[in-house]
Amino acid sequence: MTIPAGTRLIVLVLGICIACFLTINGVECSPSSDAVFDIFNYGAKAEPKFDNALAIIKAWKAACESSGPAKVVIPAGDFMAGEVVFSGPCKAPTTTVEIQGHLLANIDPSTYTSGAWIMVQRVDNVVLTGGGDHQR
């Protein structure tokens, strides 16, 4: 089946019009350029008996200091952690925490000084996402 030349011209003109409309209105079609902070790069271990709280906090602090959008990634695997405080204010306009694996709470009560497992303090524009889960 061939497409008539007139139809191809209409599709081409329509495509150009849409591209111009998006450009004029400032719509950006490029993928997200979040700086990624993987907790493995901050000492995390996917071992259920290793407390990864410090690695998560270090990754958060680095993301928080980013000048652009930032993402903390908890990759696939089992990551146990005691108390985690995501504190700000942050320089990053948005900070995403993406849980791809399983975040497990430390069962030792002495690791919790504030009585909470995960806290967010003085931070705006935080996004929690991912297909992983957390268990307390």
Q: Write out the residue range of the structural domain in which residue 52 sits.
A: 35-135
The model's pTM is 0.74
Per-residue model confidence as pLDDT tens digits over 27-68: 444 455 889 999 999 999 998 889 999 999 999 999 999 999
Q: Do residue 18 and residue 40 come from a single domain?
A: no
With CA atoms as reference, report the closest residue to 95 among 67, 135, 117.
67
Per-residue model confidence as pLDDT tens digits over 78-120: 999 999 999 999 999 999 999 999 999 999 988 899 888 999 9
Number of domains in the chain: 2
Q: Do residue 24 and residue 41 come from a single domain?
A: no
Contacts 24+ apart (CB under 8 A), 43-49: 44/74, 44/79, 45/79, 46/75, 46/76, 46/77, 46/78, 46/79, 46/101, 47/78, 47/80, 48/78, 48/80, 48/104, 49/80
Q: Do residue 54 and residue 107 come from a single domain?
A: yes
Q: Do residue 107 and residue 49 come from a single domain?
A: yes
Q: Do residue 127 and residue 60 come from a single domain?
A: yes
Per-residue model confidence as pLDDT tens digits over 6-21: 555 565 445 564 655 5
